[in-house]
């Protein structure tokens, strides 16, 4: 769906985006992650035609249209991080304004407005002035506005920033709903737990470079977030430590009263071997588990702890 | 066939119509115009006492027309930059401009929509001032066609002022800076275009002006002066059939333009083209694809 090839954006001597190449398949809900200043918003703004790239190409679907062209704009629905409103404009009129800007006919706008307001749960606010809506409602309205011309790709730049927990949950549900309808969605966000729950693929940027991208399970696998292990011991701590020290590929990270935390590069067979050896040596194990890799851990590892 | 409105014109008019600012604006406009009317009337009355016996009192009331027209022109010239100079920078301040640029509207359509909505808002003021203007026609005995010509010139002036405002709005991030810059542009177009002519006239004692005066074609002061001269006296600013000049004093083009109404029409065309160029420049400036490097966006 979205192909970004060797994209670079320079501001004088500063490189905001550095030779970024990315492919997001159709139907994906892609989470774009990275610390502040990583280049996410710059990338999004280039894709949306709001910024000119220094070099590189952006393509959506099979179209060969240039970034910023009318044809390309029809394919994108953009939800910015900040929702600006006009005083004295009602929700219905707001939708009508943007529908007209896409060259749609009033009849079609009216029909789609009803459907979309229902989708974002704002049907009862149709005749309400936009500036009187809560921030969460405004953000949902902005999503409805971005969907009005039925774009192939929906891009949201930090959609949850400034929203209260309830509004965040509503926004998450809305995006999940849109994903299940087959929309291709790109979300840039700092709220990693939210992305891990919603997205099926992710990309992590830092200092203008894309560090890793792909399906969420593949990325987690590549990083090896599961090589940290907890061994809980009821008795025989010294024996257990001796056995572990003898194993190649194992590093003892910490030792607590009843628990040893190790970093392991061993295969499953090797792990089975030293666990068996502990049991034979009268070590009483009460627990043993691999630590699941979280998006936060992955993010911190890749960005060198510069995460929010 | 259904006419499709520029969505920005529709939105701006919709939003403006609901605002109290419009009501206050019309009130202020009417108040200034009424004051100008009463002032002119008192001057005319004083003058008419001396000529009352000659029966020329109504002839003097014709001067209400230029007084009221000039008052309107001045108000329009002052108001339009305030409206348009804050239009694009205002959208940027509200952070709605980016969304606008991601739609299928071209930057020129956005700029044109903003200027047209400003012109329409000015016409609303002008229409509200019609009853006062009408007194000059009823009492002064002017033809109604003059009123039509006057509205056309107001549209032209609004277009020029609007395009200056929109260009400044595109150049500046903040509305207040854009308004100030608009008045700097005004200074150059209204005052600085007179400078080469004055300097040349002083240097040559008005005998070898050449084609220097052609720069005055874009000066709205000169255009309005010529407009009122033609309307009120049937003469040109440059005298009957350009009699103020000889072919030796001014260049060939200037001499021929000073004949009849040629200067007036050419000046209108020049002001229109200038407005169009300002709008094109504004559209070029707001088009993100024309920005060579762009600026880092503050979050």
The answer to whether the beta carbons of residues B169 and B178 sit under 8 Å apart is: yes
- Nearest-5° Cα angle at B281, B280 to B284: 85
In A, minimum Cα distance to B295 occurs at A11
Structure-token pair, residue B92: 């940027």
From A82, A97, A145, residue closest to B7, measured CB to CB: A97
Least confident range from A55-64, A166-175, A248-257, B234-243: namely B234-243
Mean pLDDT of A25-51: 88
From A11, A14, A70, residue closest to B104, measured CB to CB: A70
What is the distance between the alpha carbons of residues B243 and B241, in angstroms, rounded to a whole number?
Answer: 5
Q: How far is CA B270 from CA B226, B267, B274, B277, in A?
A: 14, 5, 6, 10
Q: Is the dihedral of CA B67, B73, B76, B77 positive or negative?
A: negative
Residue A308: its pLDDT value, please?
38
Please give, rounded to a whole number of angstroms, the shortest distance from the CA of B115 to a CA of chain A: 17
From A73, A80, A101, residue closest to B7, measured CB to CB: A101
Q: Kindly report the pTM of this predicted structure.
A: 0.79
**Is A101's CB within 8 Å of B103's CB?**
yes
Residue B54: its pLDDT value, please?
55
The answer to whether the beta carbons of residues B15 and A87 sit under 8 Å apart is: yes
Residue B219, Cβ neighbours under 10 Å: how many? Answer: 22
In B, minimum Cα distance to A77 occurs at B102
Residue B113: its pLDDT value, please?
92
Mean pLDDT of B125-142: 76
Which chain A residues are closer than 8 Å to B3 by Cβ?
A: none
From A41, A81, A89, residue closest to B14, measured CB to CB: A89
Residue A178: its pLDDT value, please?
83
Residue A307: its pLDDT value, please?
40
Please give, rounded to a whole number of angstroms, the shortest distance from the CA of A103 to a CA of chain B: 7
Which stretches of chain B sit within 8 Å of chain A by CB? 4-5, 7, 10-11, 14-15, 18-19, 91, 94-96, 98-106, 287-297, 299
- Residue B165: strand, helix, or coil: helix
Least confident range from A151-160, A250-259, B5-14, B135-144: namely B135-144
What is the distance between the alpha carbons of residues A118 and A96, in angstroms, rounded to a whole number?
Answer: 16
The answer to whether the beta carbons of residues B259 and B242 sit under 8 Å apart is: yes
Mean pLDDT for all residues in chain A = 83
In A, minimum Cα distance to B8 occurs at A97
Interface A–B counts its CB contacts (< 8 A) at: 96
Q: How many residues does chain B have?
A: 299
Which chain B residues are closer than 8 Å to A88 by Cβ?
A: 14-15, 18-19
In B, minimum Cα distance to A142 occurs at B99
Query: Of the candidates B109, B101, B80, which has an alpha carbon nearest to the alpha carbon of residue B8?
Result: B109
**Is A73's CB within 8 Å of B102's CB?**
yes
Residue B278: its pLDDT value, please?
94
Residue range B241-286, pLDDT digits in tens? 555 666 666 677 777 777 777 888 889 999 999 999 999 999 999 8
**Is A11's CB within 8 Å of B7's CB?**
no
């Amino acid at each position: 769906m979205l192909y970004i090839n060797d994209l670079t954006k320079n501001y004088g001597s500063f490189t905001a985006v550095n030779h970024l190449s990315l492919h997001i398949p159709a139907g994906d809900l892609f989470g774009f992650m990275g610390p502040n200043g990583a280049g996410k918003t710059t990338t999004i703004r280039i894709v949306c035609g709001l910024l000119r790239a220094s070099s590189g190409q952006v393509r959506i679907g099979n179209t060969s249209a240039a970034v910023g062209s009318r044809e390309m704009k029809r394919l994108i629905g953009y939800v910015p991080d900040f929702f600006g409103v006009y005083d004295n404009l009602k929700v219905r009129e707001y939708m009508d304004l943007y529908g007209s800007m896409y060259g749609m006919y009033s009849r079609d706008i009216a029909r789609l407005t009803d459907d979309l307001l229902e989708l974002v749960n704002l049907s009862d606010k149709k005749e309400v002035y936009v500036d009187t809506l809560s921030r969460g409602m405004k953000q949902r309205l902005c999503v409805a506005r971005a969907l009005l011309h039925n774009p192939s790709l929906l891009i949201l730049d930090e959609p949850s920033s400034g929203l209260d927990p309830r509004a965040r949950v509503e926004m998450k549900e809305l995006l999940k709903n849109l994903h299940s309808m087959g929309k291709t969605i790109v979300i840039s966000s700092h709220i990693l737990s939210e992305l891990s729950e919603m997205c099926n693929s992710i990309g992590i940027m830092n200092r203008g470079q894309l560090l890793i991208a792909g399906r969420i399970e593949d990325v987690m696998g590549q990083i090896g977030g599961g090589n940290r292990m907890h061994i809980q011991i009821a008795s025989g701590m010294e024996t257990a430590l001796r056995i572990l020290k003898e194993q190649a590929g194992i590093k003892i990270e910490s030792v607590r009263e009843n628990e040893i935390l190790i970093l392991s590069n061993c295969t499953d067979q090797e792990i089975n071997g030293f666990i068996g050896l502990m049991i034979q040596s009268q070590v009483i194990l009460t627990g043993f588990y691999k630590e699941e890799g979280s998006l936060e851990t992955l993010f911190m590892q890749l960005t060198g702890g510069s995460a929010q | 066939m259904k006419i499709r409105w520029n969505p920005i014109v529709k939105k701006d008019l919709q939003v403006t119509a609901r605002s109290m600012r419009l009501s206050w604006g019309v009130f202020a406009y009417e108040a200034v115009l009424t004051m100008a009317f009463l002032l002119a009337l008192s001057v005319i009355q004083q003058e008419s006492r001396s000529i009352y016996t000659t029966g020329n009192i109504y002839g003097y009331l014709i001067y209400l027309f230029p007084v009221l027209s000039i008052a309107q022109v001045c108000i329009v010239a002052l108001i339009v930059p305030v409206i348009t100079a804050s239009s694009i920078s205002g959208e940027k301040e509200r952070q709605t401009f980016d969304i606008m640029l991601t739609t299928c509207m071209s930057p020129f359509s956005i700029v044109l929509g903003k200027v047209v909505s400003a012109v329409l808002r000015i016409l609303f003021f002008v229409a509200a001032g019609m009853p006062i203007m009408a007194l000059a026609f009823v009492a002064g005995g002017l033809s109604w066609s003059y009123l039509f010509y006057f509205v056309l010139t107001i549209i032209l002036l609004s277009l020029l002022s609007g395009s200056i405002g929109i260009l400044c709005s595109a150049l500046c991030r903040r509305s207040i800076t854009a308004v100030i810059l608009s008045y700097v542009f005004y200074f150059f177009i209204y005052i600085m275009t007179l400078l080469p002519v004055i300097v040349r006239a002083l240097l040559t004692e008005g005998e070898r002006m050449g084609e220097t005066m052609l720069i005055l074609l874009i000066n709205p002061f000169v255009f309005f002066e010529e407009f009122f001269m033609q309307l009120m006296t049937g003469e040109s600013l440059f005298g009957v059939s350009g009699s103020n000049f000889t072919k030796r004093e001014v260049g060939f083009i200037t001499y021929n333009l000073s004949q009849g109404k040629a200067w007036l029409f050419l000046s209108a065309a020049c002001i229109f083209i200038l407005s169009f160029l300002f709008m094109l420049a504004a559209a070029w400036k707001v088009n993100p694809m024309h920005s060579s490097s762009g600026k880092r966006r503050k979050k």
